Structure 1
Amino acid sequence: MYFLTLTEEEFDGFIKRNFSHYTQSKNHYAYRNKFKKDVHIVGVKNEQNEVIAATLLTEARSMKFFKYFYTHRGPVLDFNNEELVSFFFKNLTKYLKKQRCLYVLVDPYIVINKYEADGNKINEYEHQKLIEMLEEQGYKHQGYSVGYQPMSQIRWLSVLDLKDKSEQTLLKELNYQTRRNIKKTDEMGVQVNTLKIEETDRFFNLFKMAEEKHGFSFRGIDYFKEMQAIYHDNSVLKVATINLTNYLNQLKNQQTSLSDEMSCIEKNLQENPNSKKQKTLMQNVKQRYDSTAKRIDKVKNLISTDGEVIDLAAALYIYNDYEMYYLSSGSNPKYNEFMGAYKLQWEMIKFSKERGIDRYNFYGVTGDFNDTAEDYGVQQFKKGFNAEVEEYIGDFIKPIKKNWFAVNNILQKIKER
Structure 2
Amino acid sequence: MKIEKISPDQYEEFIKKNDLGYLFLQMPAYASLYNRFILAGLDDSNSISHAIIIEPRSAMRFWKYAYSASGYLSADRTKDHVFLRSVSQWLKQNGFILWRIESSIEIKEYDKTGAEVDDGFNNHSHLETMQEEGFIWHEIPRGIHTEYQNTWESVVELKPNVIHDRQGYIGKLQKNKTNYDFEYLLTTMGGSSRKYMRKAERDGFSLIVKKPSEMSEQDWKIVEEMIEKSGDFQGFDASDGGKRRELAETSENNCYLVMLLNKEGNVVYGGYWYYTNMEMLCYLGGMNRGAAKYNLASFIHTNMYKRALEMGLEQYNYGGISGYFDKTGEGYGCYQFKRELGAKVIRSFGVFDQPLSATGRLFEKKISQE
Count of paired positions: 343
Match of 2:95 in 1: 100
| Helix, strand or coil at the partner of 2:130 | helix
Please give the secondary structure, in 1, of the residue aligned with 2:103.
coil
Q: How far does residue 218 in structure 1 lie from its aligned partner after superposition?
A: 4.6
Q: Say which one has the larger Rg.
A: 1
One-letter identity of the residue aligned with 1:18: L
CA distance in 2, matches of 1:127, 1:243: 49
Match of 2:295 among 332, 339, 343: 339
Counterparts of 1:153 and 1:120, CA distance in 2? 18
Amino acid at match of 1:187: R
In the alignment, which of 182, 186, 190 is matched to residue 171 of structure 1? Answer: 186
Judge conservation of contact 2:30–2:247 (CA < 8 Å) in 1.
no
Whole-Å separation in 2 of the counterparts to 1:311 and 1:383: 27
Look up the match of 1:11: 11
Which of the residues 351, 358, 363 maps onto 2:314?
A: 358
1:239–1:407 Cα change, 3 Å: closer
Q: Which among 176, 188, 206 is matched to residue 203 of structure 2?
A: 188
Residues 216-255 of structure 1 mapped to structure 2, 5 A cutoff = 216-244=236-264
Q: What is the Cα-based RMSD across aligned positions, in Å? A: 2.4
Whether contact under 8 Å (2:57, 2:64) holds in the other structure is: yes
Q: Deviations over 1:111-138 (max 9, x none)?
A: 1233333323336432222112111211
**Runs of 5+ in structure 1 lacking a partner?**
245-308
- Which residue of the other structure, out of 339, 346, 368, is the alignment partner of 2:324? 368
Compared CA separation, residues 208 and 69, structure 1 to 2 (3 A): same
Matches within 5 A, 1:23-62: 23-30=25-32, 32=33, 36=34, 38-62=35-59
Q: Which residue of 2 aligns with 1:248?
A: none
Report the TM-score, using the length of structure 1 for normalisation: 0.76
Letter in 2 for 1:113: K
Is the CA contact 2:228–2:239 (under 8 Å) kept in the aligned structure 1?
no
Q: TM-score w.r.t. structure 2 length?
A: 0.85
**Amino acid in the other structure paired with 2:334:** V
Q: Using a 3 Å threshold, how does the CA distance of structure 1 residues 343 and 94 change in structure 2: closer, same or farther? A: same
Distance 1:159 1:168 in 2: 18
Alpha carbons of structure 1 residues 202 and 411: separation in structure 2 relative to 1, 3 Å: closer
Q: Identify the residue that residue 67 of structure 1 maps to in structure 2.
A: 64
User: What is the SS of the residue equivalent to 1:72?
Assistant: strand
What corresponds to 1:252 in structure 2? none
- After superposition, give the CA deviation of every residue in 1:312-335 in whole Å (9 maximum; x if it has no partner): 222210111110000112222322
Per-residue CA deviation, residues 317-368 of structure 1 (Å, 9 max, x unaligned), is 0111110000112222322233332221111111111111121111111111
Aligned to 1:278: none
Spell out, residue by residue over 1:166-214, the C-alpha distance to the aligned partner (whole angstroms, 9 max, x if none): 1121123222111111111111110111352632232222223432343
Q: How far apart in 1 are the matches of 2:31 and 2:353? A: 22
- Does the 8 A contact of 1:181 with 1:339 survive in 2? yes
Write the mapping of 1:146-161 to structure 2, written as runs, cut at 5 A: 146-148=142-144, 154-161=150-157
Letter in 2 for 1:3: I
Look up the equivalent residue of 1:21 and give its one-letter code.
Answer: L
Identical-pair percentage: 20
Q: Partner letter of residue 69 of structure 2?
A: H
1:207 aligns with 2:227: yes
Deviates more, 1:217-226 or 1:392-401: 217-226
- Structure 1 residue 46, shift from structure 2 partner: 2.1
Whether the 8 Å contact between 1:197 and 1:228 is mirrored in structure 2 is: no
- The alignment partner of 1:71 has SS state of strand
2:99 counterpart letter in structure 1: V
Equivalent of 1:127 in 117, 123, 126: 123
Specify the SS of the correspondent of 1:360.
strand
Q: Which has the higher helix share?
A: 1
1: CA distance between counterparts of 2:355 and 2:89? 13
Give the distance between the partners of 2:8 and 2:364, measured in 1 at CA: 34
Question: In the alignment, is the contact (CA less than 8 A) between 2:40 and 2:48 conserved in 1?
Answer: yes
* Ranges in structure 2 where 5+ consecutive residues have no aligned partner: 160-178
- Measured in 2, the distance between the counterparts of 1:152 and 1:174 equals 26
Native 8 Å contact 1:318 1:327 kept in 2: yes
Distance in 2, matches of 1:371 and 1:334, equals 27
- Letter paired with 2:95: R
